[in-house]
Amino acid sequence: MSNEIVTRDEIRAMRRSYSDAGLETLPNDPFESFAMWLKQAHENSVIVEANAMVLSTLASDGQITTRTVLLKDISDGGFTFFTNYESRKAHGIEMNHNVSLLFPWYAMERQISISGIAEKVSEQESDDYFATRPWGSQIGAWASHQSSPLASREELEQRYEGAAAKWPEGSAVPRPPHWGGYRVTPLNIEFWQGRY
Protein backbone atom coordinates (compact mmCIF):
# COMPACT_ATOMS: atom_id res chain seq x y z
CA MET A 1 0.00 0.00 0.00
CA SER A 2 1.39 3.40 -1.00
CA ASN A 3 1.77 6.34 1.37
CA GLU A 4 1.41 8.78 -1.51
CA ILE A 5 -1.63 11.02 -1.74
CA VAL A 6 -3.88 11.18 -4.76
CA THR A 7 -3.37 14.16 -7.09
CA ARG A 8 -6.02 16.42 -8.56
CA ASP A 9 -5.27 15.10 -12.03
CA GLU A 10 -5.71 11.53 -10.82
CA ILE A 11 -9.06 12.45 -9.27
CA ARG A 12 -10.20 14.11 -12.50
CA ALA A 13 -9.17 11.05 -14.50
CA MET A 14 -11.14 8.66 -12.29
CA ARG A 15 -13.93 7.28 -14.43
CA ARG A 16 -15.15 3.99 -15.70
CA SER A 17 -17.44 2.73 -18.38
CA TYR A 18 -20.75 1.35 -17.18
CA SER A 19 -22.67 -1.55 -18.58
CA ASP A 20 -25.46 -0.93 -21.03
CA ALA A 21 -28.22 -1.84 -18.55
CA GLY A 22 -31.25 0.43 -18.45
CA LEU A 23 -34.34 1.14 -16.41
CA GLU A 24 -36.80 -0.06 -19.04
CA THR A 25 -37.41 -3.39 -17.29
CA LEU A 26 -38.41 -1.85 -13.95
CA PRO A 27 -42.06 -2.14 -12.88
CA ASN A 28 -44.05 1.10 -12.82
CA ASP A 29 -44.64 0.78 -9.06
CA PRO A 30 -41.58 2.29 -7.30
CA PHE A 31 -42.02 0.05 -4.24
CA GLU A 32 -42.08 -3.03 -6.45
CA SER A 33 -39.02 -1.74 -8.31
CA PHE A 34 -37.26 -1.08 -5.01
CA ALA A 35 -38.08 -4.57 -3.70
CA MET A 36 -36.77 -6.12 -6.93
CA TRP A 37 -33.46 -4.23 -6.77
CA LEU A 38 -33.09 -4.89 -3.03
CA LYS A 39 -33.52 -8.63 -3.61
CA GLN A 40 -30.94 -8.55 -6.41
CA ALA A 41 -28.51 -6.61 -4.19
CA HIS A 42 -29.06 -9.08 -1.34
CA GLU A 43 -28.33 -12.00 -3.66
CA ASN A 44 -25.16 -10.32 -5.00
CA SER A 45 -22.16 -11.76 -3.13
CA VAL A 46 -20.19 -8.52 -3.52
CA ILE A 47 -22.78 -6.42 -1.65
CA VAL A 48 -22.05 -6.81 2.08
CA GLU A 49 -25.31 -5.43 3.54
CA ALA A 50 -27.93 -4.74 0.90
CA ASN A 51 -30.25 -3.15 3.46
CA ALA A 52 -27.62 -0.61 4.61
CA MET A 53 -28.79 2.88 3.74
CA VAL A 54 -27.31 6.32 4.23
CA LEU A 55 -29.65 8.55 6.25
CA SER A 56 -29.22 12.33 6.09
CA THR A 57 -30.89 14.66 8.59
CA LEU A 58 -30.62 18.31 9.55
CA ALA A 59 -28.81 18.89 12.85
CA SER A 60 -29.75 21.60 15.36
CA ASP A 61 -26.80 23.73 14.20
CA GLY A 62 -28.17 23.77 10.65
CA GLN A 63 -25.63 21.29 9.31
CA ILE A 64 -26.67 18.19 7.41
CA THR A 65 -25.45 15.02 9.11
CA THR A 66 -25.13 11.64 7.49
CA ARG A 67 -24.77 8.11 8.82
CA THR A 68 -25.56 4.52 7.86
CA VAL A 69 -28.61 2.73 9.29
CA LEU A 70 -30.26 -0.55 8.35
CA LEU A 71 -33.59 -0.85 6.56
CA LYS A 72 -35.77 -3.24 8.55
CA ASP A 73 -39.15 -3.04 6.81
CA ILE A 74 -40.94 -1.80 3.72
CA SER A 75 -44.61 -1.40 4.60
CA ASP A 76 -47.43 1.11 4.90
CA GLY A 77 -45.95 3.09 2.03
CA GLY A 78 -42.61 3.67 3.74
CA PHE A 79 -39.13 2.53 4.66
CA THR A 80 -38.54 1.67 8.34
CA PHE A 81 -35.39 1.71 10.48
CA PHE A 82 -34.88 1.52 14.24
CA THR A 83 -32.65 3.60 16.49
CA ASN A 84 -32.12 5.20 19.87
CA TYR A 85 -34.57 8.11 20.22
CA GLU A 86 -31.92 10.02 22.21
CA SER A 87 -29.43 9.92 19.32
CA ARG A 88 -28.36 12.89 17.23
CA LYS A 89 -30.23 11.47 14.25
CA ALA A 90 -33.47 11.23 16.26
CA HIS A 91 -33.08 14.78 17.56
CA GLY A 92 -32.55 15.93 13.98
CA ILE A 93 -35.69 14.11 12.83
CA GLU A 94 -37.77 15.57 15.67
CA MET A 95 -36.57 19.05 14.70
CA ASN A 96 -37.14 18.55 10.97
CA HIS A 97 -38.96 15.49 9.65
CA ASN A 98 -37.54 15.92 6.13
CA VAL A 99 -34.84 13.29 5.53
CA SER A 100 -33.11 11.54 2.67
CA LEU A 101 -32.06 7.93 2.24
CA LEU A 102 -29.51 6.51 -0.17
CA PHE A 103 -28.95 2.86 -1.07
CA PRO A 104 -25.52 2.85 -2.79
CA TRP A 105 -25.11 -0.47 -4.59
CA TYR A 106 -22.02 0.58 -6.55
CA ALA A 107 -20.92 -2.96 -7.37
CA MET A 108 -24.18 -3.30 -9.31
CA GLU A 109 -23.84 0.18 -10.86
CA ARG A 110 -27.05 1.19 -9.10
CA GLN A 111 -28.31 3.47 -6.41
CA ILE A 112 -31.71 4.49 -5.09
CA SER A 113 -32.19 7.92 -3.54
CA ILE A 114 -35.29 8.65 -1.47
CA SER A 115 -36.44 11.95 0.03
CA GLY A 116 -39.34 11.91 2.42
CA ILE A 117 -40.90 12.52 5.80
CA ALA A 118 -39.79 10.50 8.86
CA GLU A 119 -42.30 9.75 11.62
CA LYS A 120 -42.09 7.42 14.61
CA VAL A 121 -43.77 4.05 14.15
CA SER A 122 -46.24 2.83 16.78
CA GLU A 123 -44.97 1.56 20.11
CA GLN A 124 -46.45 -1.84 19.23
CA GLU A 125 -44.45 -1.98 16.00
CA SER A 126 -41.28 -1.03 17.88
CA ASP A 127 -42.04 -3.66 20.55
CA ASP A 128 -42.65 -6.34 17.92
CA TYR A 129 -39.37 -5.66 16.12
CA PHE A 130 -37.36 -5.32 19.36
CA ALA A 131 -38.54 -8.79 20.41
CA THR A 132 -36.92 -10.28 17.27
CA ARG A 133 -33.46 -8.84 18.02
CA PRO A 134 -30.69 -11.02 19.48
CA TRP A 135 -30.39 -10.87 23.27
CA GLY A 136 -27.03 -9.05 23.11
CA SER A 137 -28.51 -6.34 20.88
CA GLN A 138 -31.47 -5.94 23.23
CA ILE A 139 -29.13 -5.54 26.21
CA GLY A 140 -26.98 -3.13 24.19
CA ALA A 141 -30.04 -0.93 23.57
CA TRP A 142 -30.45 -0.55 27.33
CA ALA A 143 -26.73 0.10 27.90
CA SER A 144 -26.10 2.58 25.09
CA HIS A 145 -26.85 6.27 25.48
CA GLN A 146 -26.16 6.95 21.82
CA SER A 147 -24.44 10.23 20.89
CA SER A 148 -23.74 11.00 24.58
CA PRO A 149 -20.12 11.30 25.72
CA LEU A 150 -18.72 8.46 27.83
CA ALA A 151 -16.28 8.95 30.69
CA SER A 152 -14.69 5.64 29.73
CA ARG A 153 -15.33 2.38 27.93
CA GLU A 154 -15.69 0.79 31.37
CA GLU A 155 -18.80 2.94 31.93
CA LEU A 156 -20.49 1.38 28.89
CA GLU A 157 -19.37 -2.10 29.90
CA GLN A 158 -20.79 -1.58 33.41
CA ARG A 159 -24.14 -0.49 31.97
CA TYR A 160 -24.14 -3.54 29.71
CA GLU A 161 -23.29 -5.87 32.59
CA GLY A 162 -26.00 -4.26 34.74
CA ALA A 163 -28.65 -4.77 32.07
CA ALA A 164 -27.44 -8.32 31.44
CA ALA A 165 -27.77 -9.10 35.16
CA LYS A 166 -31.29 -7.65 35.21
CA TRP A 167 -32.38 -9.62 32.13
CA PRO A 168 -30.27 -12.80 31.87
CA GLU A 169 -29.95 -14.50 28.50
CA GLY A 170 -33.14 -16.42 27.74
CA SER A 171 -35.40 -13.97 29.59
CA ALA A 172 -37.76 -11.53 27.88
CA VAL A 173 -36.07 -8.14 27.57
CA PRO A 174 -38.53 -5.22 27.34
CA ARG A 175 -37.93 -2.49 24.80
CA PRO A 176 -36.33 0.61 26.32
CA PRO A 177 -38.62 3.67 26.07
CA HIS A 178 -35.79 5.54 24.32
CA TRP A 179 -35.56 3.03 21.45
CA GLY A 180 -37.88 2.52 18.49
CA GLY A 181 -38.55 2.92 14.83
CA TYR A 182 -39.05 5.61 12.23
CA ARG A 183 -40.86 5.18 8.94
CA VAL A 184 -39.82 7.37 6.02
CA THR A 185 -42.77 8.08 3.74
CA PRO A 186 -41.25 8.98 0.38
CA LEU A 187 -42.00 12.18 -1.49
CA ASN A 188 -39.56 11.21 -4.23
CA ILE A 189 -37.77 7.98 -5.20
CA GLU A 190 -34.98 8.16 -7.77
CA PHE A 191 -33.50 5.06 -9.40
CA TRP A 192 -30.05 5.37 -10.95
CA GLN A 193 -28.50 2.76 -13.22
CA GLY A 194 -25.04 3.36 -14.67
CA ARG A 195 -24.95 3.49 -18.46
CA TYR A 196 -22.06 4.00 -20.88
* 117, 184 Cβ separation under 8 angstroms: yes
How far apart CA 121 and CA 183 sit, in angstroms, is 6
Q: What residue ranges define each of the domains in the chain, with the CATH number in brackets?
A: 18-133+177-193 (2.30.110.10)
Cβ-proximal residues to 173 (8 Å cutoff; 6+ apart), any chain = 130, 135, 138, 139, 142, 167
**Does the reported pTM lie above 0.95?**
no
pLDDT in tens, 108-134: 999 999 999 999 999 999 999 999 999
Beta strands in 15-136 (DSSP E): 52-58, 64-70, 73-75, 78-84, 98-105, 110-120
22: helix, coil or strand?
A: coil
Query: Residue 17's pLDDT band (boundaries 50, 70, 90)?
Result: low
pLDDT in tens, 149-190: 667 778 778 888 888 888 999 999 999 999 999 999 999 999
Maximum Cα interatomic distance, the chain, rounded to a whole number of Å:
59
Separation of CA 132 from chain center: 18
